[in-house]
Amino acid sequence: MTQLLLSKDLQKYMKKHEHVFLKVHSVFKDAMNIIDDKGNLVTLVSPNKDIAPMSAQVSLGSIPNQHLESGELVEIDGDTLLFPRLNIKLNFKDHEIWNPDYQKRKTDLSMNQLESRVMALKDLIETHGQLEGIVELIKYLDFSVPGIVSTSVKQDLNQYADFIEERVLKVLNLVYEGNYELLKEFIPRFVGFGPGLTPSTDDFLLGLIISHIYERRKRGELMKDIYSQISKVVESTEEKTTKVSVEMLKHGVRGKVSESYRLAVQAMFYDVKASFSKTCIRVLQNGSTSGSDYLFGVYCYAQLRLKWYREGGI
Amino acid sequence: MLISKEIKNIDGVTEVLVGMGTELNIELTENLGLMGPEMKDVSPNDFFIAADLDSDETMALVIEQVTQLLSQKKAESGSDYQPVSIAGALDIMPSANLAVVSIPGQYAEEEVSKLLDNDLHVMLFSDNVSVEAELFLKKKAVEKGLLMMGPDCGTAIINGIPLAFANKVKRGPIGIVGASGTGTQEVSALIDTFGSGVSQVIGTGGRDLKSEIGGLMMIQGMQALMADPETKVIVLISKPPAPEVAQKILNMVGETQKPVVVDFIGGDAQMITNAGAHPCSTLEDAALKAVALARGERPVDSDGFTVDESRVNAWIEDAVGKLKADQVNLRGLYTGGTLADEAMKLLGSSIGGIYSNIPLSPEYELKDLNNLSGHVCLDLGEDQFTVGRPHPMIDPSTRSDRFETDIDGTVAVCLIDVVIGYGSHEDPAGEVAQSIKAVKDKLAKEDKSIVVIASITGTEDDPQGLEASQKSLEDEGVIVLPSNAQAVRLTKEIMNRLPKS
C-alpha cells in the first residue's frame, strides 16, 4: 500500500486554522483544488500523482468527483477534511509529512557535465515534450552570441510561440543581465499566457525561478537573500494570471515545488543517482503543456548559467 | 494535444482559442481576430472559447466537444479507482485470491486477518510484525488452507507471476519453499540458467522455522507443492531451523513420492539424508540437484567451478601477482543477507575469522561499523544500514558509500553480489561498476590494485539482463562467476595464497 503524503505547509495551515470553511475551486481527473476565503489554495491529489506545496495525497476514488461542483462547501476540522454534502471525511492523521522546501544534494556538476545535461534536456523536450505551445521556441533560441540571448531564423511558429517570442527573449535577457528591477516591471506583461489553468508562461517562469534558487543555493547564497531578490518579481502577478498560477508562483519563490519538479531541477544541477531522462520524462508528462513549459524554463536557466560561465561572469 | 488544436479540426471552424481569460490570452484572441463584445467581461479565472466559425450549429458542436474533452478526464477517473479498504477492493475485484500487503508492521495483523477471513492468500512484505501476530495469522491461514507468506517475505513467484523481489524465471517442474529471500532468488535464477524452471516459489518469512512458529508455512507450502501436479521436484531453503522444526519438516519427506532437495544453509546434512531427502552444500548445489532430479538424472555433489580450470588458475595467478605484500584482507559487501551468510560459511575459518554484522559466532560481531579491520563481510540489507534509506538492492548508494569508506590499501579481495530482477535497482551492476572504478582510482594513487569478485543473481530475461550486467562488471575488471558459491571458492583460493591477515 502506498504511504499517503501530506505537505508540511498544509499540515501547518491545518494546525493554525483548526476549523475553517473552504470551497471547491476546480476538479480534475487526479486532482482537486479547494480555496479558502483568503485565497489560500489547497490541492488534493491521487496517490499516483505528485505531492506539491499545500497539498495532500488522498484516494480520490473514494470521492465521486464527477458530482462535485465549483463552489461546493468543504470543511477542515482539526486533521480531518469534510465534504458535508457528500458526507465524506478524509483524515490526514496517519499521512507521512512531505517537506516541499529547498533540498540540497551532495555533489555538484562540473560545467562540462552541465553542458551535456542541457543538450540531453533539449533532446528530451523535443522528443517527449509538448511543442505545440511556447516550447517550440526551444528550437530557435540562441545563447551563443556574446552578451545577448537571441533567436535564429524561424519557420512557421505556432500561434503561441509566435505571440510570445519577443517577451521570452526580453525575460531571458533581463535574467541574464541580473536586472530584477526591470524584470519586476516587465513580468505583468509576461505572465498568464497560454493554455491551461497554469498558463504556459507561468510554468516557464517557475522553471526559471526554481533553477535560480537551486543554482544559487548550490553556490552558497542564502535562501533569504535569494528570496528578497526574486519575490518582488512575482508580486505583481495577482491580477494578471489565474489564482492557481499566483499560488504556484508564490510557493515557487520560496523554492517550493512538487516532488517531480524538484527532482528534475536537482537532476539538472546536481550529480544525482536517479536517471536524468526518466526524471525529466516524468515531468514532461505533467498536464497538457505544464511539464514541458516548466522544463523549458529549467533549460533556459541552465543555458544562461553556461553563458555566464563562458563569458567570464559568475 | 491542445484543446484548441483539436477543436480546430472540426469542419466549419476557421480559428479557435480556448483558455483562461488572462490579459495576454485575450490579447492573442484579438490578434487572431476572435474578439467579441462578451470578452470584455472575462477575468483571469474564467475559462473561455473564442472561435471563428460558419454557423450556430458548429458553435454548439464546439462547445459540446470542449466540454467533452474537459470532462473526459473526470469520467476516466473511475478507471484508476484506488480502493480505500479491503472491502472496497474486493467489491471491484471479487475474484482476487491473493493479496500483497506492505503496510507498517503494527497494522499488519488486523488487515491480514481480514484478508484471511475473506479467503485470500497473503504475501506479507511488511516487517516489524510481532512473533505473536505471526503465529496467530499463520494458524488462521493453516485452518483455512491458505498461504500466509511472511512477515518480511520479499520473494515469491505464484503461477508464474513474480511478486516483490523476484526474477523472471522460466516455468517448469521445480517447486520451491524458501525462508530466505536472496537464497530463494539465487536458487530459482540458477534453475533457469541450468535450463529448467519453477512451478511455484513460495516464501515463508525468515522466522518461520524458529521454534515459536514451528515451520507452519513451510509445512503448508510443502503440502501445496506435494499436491500440485505441475511440481515434480520440491526444494526447501532456509537458514538452519530449530532442530524440532527441522525434524517435523523432514518427516514430511516420507509422505511424498516427489524428490525433495533441502538446503538448510550450513545445517545438518546427515539428518536430511536420513529423512530420504537430498542435502546440499550450497544454493548452487541445490539448484543443480533439483534440475538433475527433474530430468530423472542422479544428483551429484558440486563443489568446484563450472568455468574452465585454466581460466580459474589464470585469475588466481593474476590476482596474487598484482597485490602488494600488505594487502591481506577480505571485504564482503553484500546486498543479500543469505548470500553473505553462505559466503562466510563456505570460507569458514580457512582464511581466519571474519567480522560481520551477521557473524557466524558472537566473537566476530562488528562493534564499530565505521572502523573496519581484518576480514569483514557485511550484509548491507540489515537494519543498521537501511535506517532512513531503501534496501541496497533498490538503492545501491548504500554500497557505493561503503566502497568509499571500507576499502583501503590493506584490502586484497572484495567479494560482492549483484541481485537483479523485479524490485531491484534498474542497473545495480552499472552502479557498482562506478564504485569499483572510483576505488581503483583511489588505490592507484598508492600504486595498488584490488581484486573484485562478483556473482550475479538473475536471469537473462530480467529487466536488467544477466549478460548486460555481467558486461558492466567485467568492463571494470571484475571477475564474475556464475554463482555466489563459485565466487566464494575463487576468493578462498586467492586469499589462501596471500600472507595471513
CA distances from B427 to A273, A277, B424, B430 (A): 11, 14, 8, 5
Q: Scanning every residue of chain B, which has its alpha carbon at the shortest distance from the alpha carbon of A167? A: B24
For residues B265 and B398, membership in a common domain is answered with no
Question: What are the chain B neighbours of A29 within 8 Å (beta carbons)?
Answer: 73-74, 76-77
State the residue range of the domain holding B136: 82-152
Partner A contacted by B2 (CB < 8 A): yes
**Structural domains in chain B (count):** 4
Quick: pLDDT tens for B233-282. 999 999 889 999 999 999 999 999 999 999 998 888 999 999 999 999 99
Tell me how close the Cα of A238 comes to any Cα of chain B, in angstroms.
10
Which residues make beta-bridge pairs with A57?
A45
CA distance B322 to B447: 10
For residues B285 and B359, membership in a common domain is answered with no
Say whether pLDDT at B1 is over 70: no
> What is the arithmetic mean of pLDDT over B311-315?
96
Q: Which long-range contacts (CB under 8 A, 24 or more apart) does A288-291 make?
A: A288/A130, A288/A195, A288/A196, A288/B2, A288/B3, A289/A130, A289/A132, A289/A133, A289/A134, A289/A135, A289/A194, A289/A195, A289/A196, A289/A200, A289/A203, A289/B2, A290/A196, A290/A198, A290/A200, A290/A203, A291/A129, A291/A130, A291/A203
Quick: pLDDT tens for B403-424. 999 999 999 999 999 999 999 9
pLDDT of residue A155: 73
The domain that holds B247 is classified in CATH as 3.40.50.261
CA distance B182 to B179: 10
For residues A276 and A251, membership in a common domain is answered with yes
The DSSP result for A259-277, as a single string, is: HHHHHHHHHHHB--SS-HH
Q: Does A103 fall in a domain?
A: no
Whether pTM > 0.90 for this model: the answer is: no
Quick: pLDDT tens for B334-360. 999 999 999 999 998 889 899 999 999
ipTM confidence score:
0.85
Question: What are the chain A neighbours of B75 within 8 Å (beta carbons)?
Answer: 66
Which pLDDT band, with edges at 50, 70 and 90, does A106 fall under?
low
Which residues make beta-bridge pairs with A33?
A26, A43
pLDDT of residue B79: 38
- Interface probe for B, chosen from A2, A3, A26, A62 (most Cβ of B below 10 Å), is A62
Say whether pLDDT at B439 is over 70: yes
State the residue range of the domain holding A32: 5-98
Three-state helix/strand/coil letters over A163-194: HHHHHHHHHHHHHHHCCHHHHHHHHHHCCCCC
Which pLDDT band, with edges at 50, 70 and 90, does A61 fall under?
low
> What is the arithmetic mean of pLDDT over B23-33?
92
For residues B137 and B230, membership in a common domain is answered with no
pLDDT of residue B280: 96
pLDDT of residue A60: 65
Partner B contacted by A199 (CB < 8 A): yes
> What is the arithmetic mean of pLDDT over A94-108?
83
**Which residue do the cell numbers 533441502 mark?**
B262
Quick: pLDDT tens for B455-472. 999 999 999 999 999 999
Tell me how close the Cα of B293 comes to any Cα of chain A, in angstroms.
40
**Structural domains in chain A (count):** 2
The domain that holds A42 is classified in CATH as 2.40.50
Cα Dmax for chain B: 96
Say whether pLDDT at B485 is over 90: yes
Quick: pLDDT tens for B85-125. 687 677 667 789 999 998 888 889 999 999 999 999 999 99
Give me the count of residues in chain B. 501
> What is the arithmetic mean of pLDDT over A232-256?
90
Say whether pLDDT at A2 is over 70: no
**Average of per-residue pLDDT values in chain B:** 92
Question: What are the chain A neighbours of B73 within 8 Å (beta carbons)?
Answer: 28-29
Say whether pLDDT at B387 is over 90: no
CB atoms A195 and B397 under 8 Å: no
pLDDT of residue A288: 81
Which pLDDT band, with edges at 50, 70 and 90, does A64 fall under?
low
pLDDT of residue A1: 41
Q: Does A105 fall in a domain?
A: no
CA distance B48 to B22: 10
For residues A165 and A61, membership in a common domain is answered with no
Quick: pLDDT tens for B51-65. 999 999 999 999 988
For residues A144 and A187, membership in a common domain is answered with yes
For residues A232 and A150, membership in a common domain is answered with yes
- Kindly state the percentage of chain B with pLDDT values over 90: 80
Read off the C-alpha cell for A16: 493554525
Quick: pLDDT tens for A81-94. 888 887 788 888 88
